[in-house]
């Protein structure tokens, strides 16, 4: 039992505190030194782990970004000489691909794509596939916006050889003669010579409504001019077709009937600089000089689409609905029954010719990726030429130069797909910030 004297002595000791330099009875000097050493070791371990983790995140993100940004090697088809090469795969333009312009043409195809913006969203771009398979963007002055709903076939076109690219353009400085319409309008048409780099532009006298697009008959450009119909803000109609011939300084009025414009989106390049239109009862062969030949379509059910063989006046018609038959009708014969070719393909369109007896069609079904296939009109055999990356096909199919269908097919390799720069730079910065914040918090708690 504690006496009053002992209690008084203890209270006095607590009041006065330990003598200067004295060590409390419950503290040993060697224990203090050991705890300090352990704390220092823990601090070094924690700092090392945090620094290593931050470096791993930074290096990992940088490595992934570098690998994804690598451009594939240019395609080199076996036995190919100078000229075009048809890629075996058409891929969408990568969202974060650098806007790398092609040095020169001719171009194999035009593709629409989207480029990402750092602040969010995307902007439409037009890319071209070069003769060696390289892909680069085209900077065409005043090109109408290519958003997610715009098909480039409505505003751009490529010539048969891939030398010329044409486009409708808008002039931001033009304030007079603006059309009161809800339709897309253009102030003129431009033409790029990909061999020389020369850009020419022809301004319309007044704004024109963009209708069914542009078309090349060989190397000659056909430009339908549309106007609002009867003062309507929503309806429009074609009033004339201009022809911009290869080598000419500007377009001129052509003899092409305005009714041809309705079939322009479905017209197929034919032989000797013709466009083949089969959207009416007649298959029409059209050049810059007008309609040069007509062939009646066979009677019977089905939706027809025609193409002209490069070795003569042969018209191939789209498969008969509900069957695997492809009807062939020779031009100039009205009474001859068309022959039939059986091929196991559901073609969405006929797009060109591989050789005099092999037609190229677009196969587009819900159970497999779209592809271009070559079908032999003699025995019905087929070969796949080009396909599309299923998960990354663009919102519009490529516009392929007619001469490219006869070119050798080449492997394109894995396309570049650069990492989103917001991830490439944001993740390392976030890791560094979290690492520094974690260290500061740990040091603060260790001092308490």
pLDDT in tens, 79-103: 344 578 898 888 766 666 666 666 6
d(CA 113, CA 120): 16
pLDDT given at position 219: 92
Annotated domain spans of the chain:
28-70+420-448, 92-262, 267-394
pLDDT given at position 199: 92
pLDDT given at position 359: 83
pLDDT given at position 17: 58
Provide the strand spans (E) within 170-264: 185-193, 199-209, 215-217, 220-228, 236-244, 252-253
Provide the 10 A C-beta neighbour count for residue 239: 14
Pairing of strands 135-137, 122-129: antiparallel
pLDDT given at position 122: 54
pLDDT given at position 294: 75
Q: Are 318 and 331 in contact (CB under 8 A)?
A: no
Sign of CA dihedral 166, 172, 176, 179: positive
pLDDT given at position 235: 75
Weakly modelled stretches of the chain, pLDDT under 50: 73-81, 301-302, 331-335, 391-394
Quote the DSSP letter at residue 23: P
Share in percent of the chain as helix, strand, coil (round to 5) = 20, 35, 45
pLDDT given at position 177: 67
């Amino acid at each position: 039992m504690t006496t009053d004297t002992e209690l008084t002595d203890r209270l006095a000791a607590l009041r006065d505190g330990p003598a200067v330099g004295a060590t409390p009875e419950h503290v040993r000097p060697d224990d203090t030194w050991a705890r300090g050493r352990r704390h220092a070791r823990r601090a070094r371990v924690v700092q090392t782990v945090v620094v290593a983790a931050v470096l791993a995140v930074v290096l990992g993100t940088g490595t992934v970004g570098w690998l994804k940004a690598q451009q594939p090697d240019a395609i080199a088809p076996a036995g190919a000489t100078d000229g075009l090469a048809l890629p075996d795969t058409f891929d969408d333009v990568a969202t974060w691909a650098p806007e790398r312009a092609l040095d020169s043409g001719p171009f194999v195809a035009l593709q629409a794509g989207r480029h990402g913006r750092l602040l969010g969203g995307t902007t439409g771009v037009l890319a071209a596939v070069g003769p060696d398979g390289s892909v680069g963007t085209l900077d065409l002055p005043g090109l109408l916006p290519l958003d997610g709903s715009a098909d480039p076939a409505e505003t751009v076109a490529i010539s048969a050889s891939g030398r010329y690219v044409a486009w409708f353009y808008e002039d931001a400085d033009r304030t007079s003669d603006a059309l009161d319409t809800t339709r897309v309008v253009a102030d003129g048409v431009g033409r790029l010579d990909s061999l020389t780099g020369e850009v020419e532009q022809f301004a319309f006298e007044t704004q024109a409504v963009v209708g069914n697009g542009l078309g090349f008959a060989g190397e000659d450009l056909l430009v339908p001019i549309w106007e609002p119909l009867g003062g309507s803000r929503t309806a429009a109609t074609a009033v004339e077709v201009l022809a911009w011939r290869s080598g000419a300084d500007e377009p001129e009025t052509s003899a092409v009937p305005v009714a041809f414009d309705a079939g322009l989106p479905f017209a197929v390049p034919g032989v000797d600089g013709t466009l083949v239109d089969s959207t009416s009862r007649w298959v029409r062969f059209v050049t810059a000089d007008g309609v040069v030949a007509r062939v009646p379509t066979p009677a019977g059910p089905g939706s027809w689409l025609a193409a002209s063989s490069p070795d003569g006046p042969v018209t191939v018609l789209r498969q008969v609905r509900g069957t695997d038959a492809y009807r062939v009708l020779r031009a100039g014969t009205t009474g001859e029954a068309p022959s039939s070719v059986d091929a196991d393909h559901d073609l969405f369109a006929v797009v060109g010719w591989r050789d005099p007896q092999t037609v190229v069609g677009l196969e587009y079904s819900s159970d497999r990726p779209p592809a271009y296939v070559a079908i032999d009109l003699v025995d019905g055999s087929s070969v796949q030429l080009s396909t599309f990356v299923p998960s990354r096909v663009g919102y519009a199919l490529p516009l392929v130069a007619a001469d490219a269908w006869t070119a050798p097919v080449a492997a394109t390799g894995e396309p570049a797909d650069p990492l989103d720069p917001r991830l490439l730079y944001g993740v390392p910065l976030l890791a560094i910030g979290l690492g520094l914040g974690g260290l500061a918090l740990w040091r603060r708690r260790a001092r308490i």
